[in-house]
């Protein structure tokens, strides 16, 4: 679906009429009706209602139920007409054969947009496909945009709208996602929640009977509160439009795509799953890269990449300084850097001279900077600042610095268990205090250096207590700490690739405000 008047618009991303306004309505409703709301736990009507309420949506919620007086302790209504106020957004999760009537009811009652969670449509065969067409026709006649059918749901985190099948309320932030697989998308959102990555919007695109992944991408490109877009894509009908949109979005913000159906067996599986025609991945890959898209192959890469892109400045080149507390880790990270296209230029003499004054005589005097077991957060901070301030480097990776203070505490804790006369509770508490102060200082230093020099500092924490990639620093700042060097390197490589592409486009005059 394209719009002939497109070229007249200021924003070329508005590829279908009123896309931005309608999508804003969809994402920022003041009232939501749940058609099919339920207290029966094997039903989506229960999943969705419970999750919406748990998420803290502040607008009106109207459960629609044929009989019940209340659903999940909320007053329920037998129909939309009965609701005490207008309905901006309706979620439909009743059996397929009743969905048409429900949609007509939505149209009659001025509902602005609908999300159809119900399944049994084009994904099941011809009969379902015909039914889906009728649904779409009703929505279009009424000027409603329709997400789905057969969608896992959606999230609009700043609106506290968490309405997917699984219990998942990630923190509000800048990352938005489109997923052509509900389960996979929901899992990425669960990882975001688990790891503290800030989410803006999520759309399970379902069968894309009406709203397509391409339109959703265009909207997220336009949406200024979205800082980066993730997508899981199995197949796209109009590849040319998708490419053009992806390119426009990439000129504004990072687009990270996991494209499946890359291999023979994978393409067959995708056809079986969503009926997607995958086409040749070689061609797809080339075109996507040229369009500025960062391509990944594993689901976890999506959220790893998002964590870095949401919270760090982009590197201006591929020159990395590695700062490590253990020599082996430095070597491992260096290999991975080179294998992912990142260089480790030698240490400039002035940095060497300065570190000579900070470190024991047998320090590495090379990049990676091996801090040879130093346990002073100020030493770490100074080394990181030297690397950030230097013209020789575009990015810094630290290994084992974050979390290193827990080492001494762990020993104290063990000693308390085996010899409490040697380490009593008060000593243990003092150690915990030292550890926490140490870590807080280091996190603040890293956050400050990142901001002051506008360079990404990516950390690898080997502390098992850190479950989250995103760690807090003072004043609401955040730092990024992965649990393996391979993740840190992969993310930095992706960011470097993207920023290199952006710089090249800018050189050719291609910029977007």
DSSP state of 348: P
Distance of alpha carbon 222 from alpha carbon 199, whole angstroms? 16
Contacts of 101 (CB under 8 A, 6+ apart): none
Site for its own copies in 74-113 (CB under 8 A): none
Spell out, one character per residue from 484 to 503, where the chain touches its own copies: x when CB under 8 A holds, - when not: xxx-----------------
Closest C-alpha among 340, 341, 338 to residue 367: 338
Strand 70-71 with 113-116, pairing: unpaired
Distance of closest approach, residue 475 Cβ to its own copies, in angstroms: 30
234 is a contact residue toward its own copies (CB under 8 A): yes
* Pick 322 or 480: Cβ nearer its own copies: 322
Is residue 115 a contact partner of residue 154, using CB atoms and an 8 Å limit? yes
Using the rule CB under 8 A, give the single segment among 254-262, 389-397, 437-445, 502-510 that binds its own copies: 254-262
Using the rule CB under 8 A, give the single segment among 78-86, 260-268, 438-446, 451-459 that binds its own copies: 260-268
Using the rule CB under 8 A, give the single segment among 28-36, 94-102, 179-187, 307-315 that binds its own copies: 179-187
Distance of alpha carbon 235 from alpha carbon 257, whole angstroms? 12
Alpha carbon of residue 70 to chain centroid: 35
Site for its own copies in 399-418 (CB under 8 A): 400, 407-408, 410-415, 417-418
Bridge partners (DSSP) listed for residue 478 = 472
Candidate residues 5, 362, 476, 513; the one interacting with its own copies per rule CB under 8 A: 362
Is residue 466 a contact partner of residue 482, using CB atoms and an 8 Å limit? no
Site for its own copies in 291-320 (CB under 8 A): 297-300
Distance of closest approach, residue 217 Cβ to its own copies, in angstroms: 18
Distance of alpha carbon 40 from alpha carbon 358, whole angstroms? 65
171 is a contact residue toward its own copies (CB under 8 A): no
Distance of closest approach, residue 141 Cβ to its own copies, in angstroms: 29
Distance of alpha carbon 114 from alpha carbon 96, whole angstroms? 15
Contacts of 478 (CB under 8 A, 6+ apart): 196, 311, 447, 470, 471, 472
167 is a contact residue toward its own copies (CB under 8 A): yes
334 is a contact residue toward its own copies (CB under 8 A): yes
60 is a contact residue toward its own copies (CB under 8 A): no
Distance of alpha carbon 466 from alpha carbon 277, whole angstroms? 41
283 is a contact residue toward its own copies (CB under 8 A): no
* Total interface residues for its own copies by CB under 8 A: 89
Distance of closest approach, residue 312 Cβ to its own copies, in angstroms: 21
Closest C-alpha among 293, 334, 307 to residue 458: 307
Rg (the chain; Cα; Å) = 26
Using the rule CB under 8 A, give the single segment among 130-138, 284-292, 328-336, 500-508 that binds its own copies: 328-336
Candidate residues 421, 426, 475, 513; the one interacting with its own copies per rule CB under 8 A: 421
370 is a contact residue toward its own copies (CB under 8 A): yes
Distance of closest approach, residue 353 Cβ to its own copies, in angstroms: 18
187 is a contact residue toward its own copies (CB under 8 A): yes
Using the rule CB under 8 A, give the single segment among 27-35, 222-230, 249-257, 364-372 that binds its own copies: 364-372
432 is a contact residue toward its own copies (CB under 8 A): no
E strands, 145-239, are: 145-147, 153-156, 161-164, 172-179, 199-204, 228-233
Distance of alpha carbon 97 from alpha carbon 95, whole angstroms? 6
């Amino acid at each position: 679906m394209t719009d002939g008047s497109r070229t007249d618009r200021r924003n070329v991303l508005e590829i279908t009429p009123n896309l931005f306004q309608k999508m804003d309505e969809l994402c920022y409703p003041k009232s939501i009706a749940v058609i099919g709301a339920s207290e029966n736990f094997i039903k989506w009507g229960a999943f969705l209602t419970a999750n919406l309420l748990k998420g803290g949506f502040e607008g009106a919620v109207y459960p629609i139920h044929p009989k019940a007086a209340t659903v999940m302790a909320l007053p329920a209504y037998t129909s939309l007409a009965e609701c005490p106020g207008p309905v901006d957004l309706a979620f439909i999760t009743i059996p397929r054969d009743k969905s048409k009537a429900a949609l007509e009811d939505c149209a009659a009652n001025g509902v602005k947009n609908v999300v159809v969670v119900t399944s049994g449509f084009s994904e099941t065969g011809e009969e379902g496909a015909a039914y889906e067409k009728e649904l779409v026709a009703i929505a279009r006649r009424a000027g409603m945009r329709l997400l789905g059918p057969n969608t896992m749901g959606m999230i609009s985190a700043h609106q506290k709208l968490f309405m997917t099948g699984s219990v998942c309320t990630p923190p509000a932030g800048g990352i938005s996602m489109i997923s052509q697989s509900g389960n996979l998308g929901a899992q990425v959102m669960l990882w975001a929640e688990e790891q503290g990555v800030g989410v803006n919007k999520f759309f399970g695109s379902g069968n894309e009977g009406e709203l397509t992944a391409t339109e959703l991408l265009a909207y997220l490109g336009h949406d200024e509160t979205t800082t980066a877009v993730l997508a899981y894509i199995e197949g796209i009908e109009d590849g040319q439009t998708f490419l053009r949109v992806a390119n426009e979005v990439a000129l504004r913000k990072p687009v990270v795509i996991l494209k499946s159906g890359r291999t023979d067996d994978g393409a067959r599986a995708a056809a079986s799953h969503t009926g997607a025609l995958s086409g040749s991945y070689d061609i797809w890959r080339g075109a996507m890269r040229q369009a500025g898209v960062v391509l990944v192959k594993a689901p976890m890469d999506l959220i790893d990449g998002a964590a870095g892109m949401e919270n760090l400045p982009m590197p201006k080149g591929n020159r990395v300084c590695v700062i490590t507390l253990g020599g082996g880790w430095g070597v491992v990270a260096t290999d991975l850097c080179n294998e992912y296209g990142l260089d480790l230029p030698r240490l400039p003499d002035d940095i060497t001279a300065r570190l000579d004054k900070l470190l024991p005589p047998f320090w590495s005097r090379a990049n990676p900077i091996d801090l040879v077991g130093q346990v002073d957060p100020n030493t770490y901070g100074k080394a990181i600042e030297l690397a950030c301030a230097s013209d020789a480097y575009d990015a810094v990776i630290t290994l084992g610095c974050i979390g290193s203070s827990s080492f001494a505490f762990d020993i104290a804790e063990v000693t308390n268990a085996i010899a409490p006369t040697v380490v009593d509770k008060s000593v243990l508490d003092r150690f915990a205090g030292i550890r926490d102060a140490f870590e807080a200082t280091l996190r603040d230093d890293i956050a400050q250096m990142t901001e002051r020099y506008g360079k990404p500092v990516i950390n690898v924490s080997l502390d098992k207590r850190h479950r989250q990639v995103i760690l807090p620093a003072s004043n609401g700042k955040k730092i990024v700490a992965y649990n393996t060097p391979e993740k840190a390197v992969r993310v930095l490589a992706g960011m470097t690739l993207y920023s290199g592409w952006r710089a090249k486009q800018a050189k050719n005059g291609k910029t977007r405000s």
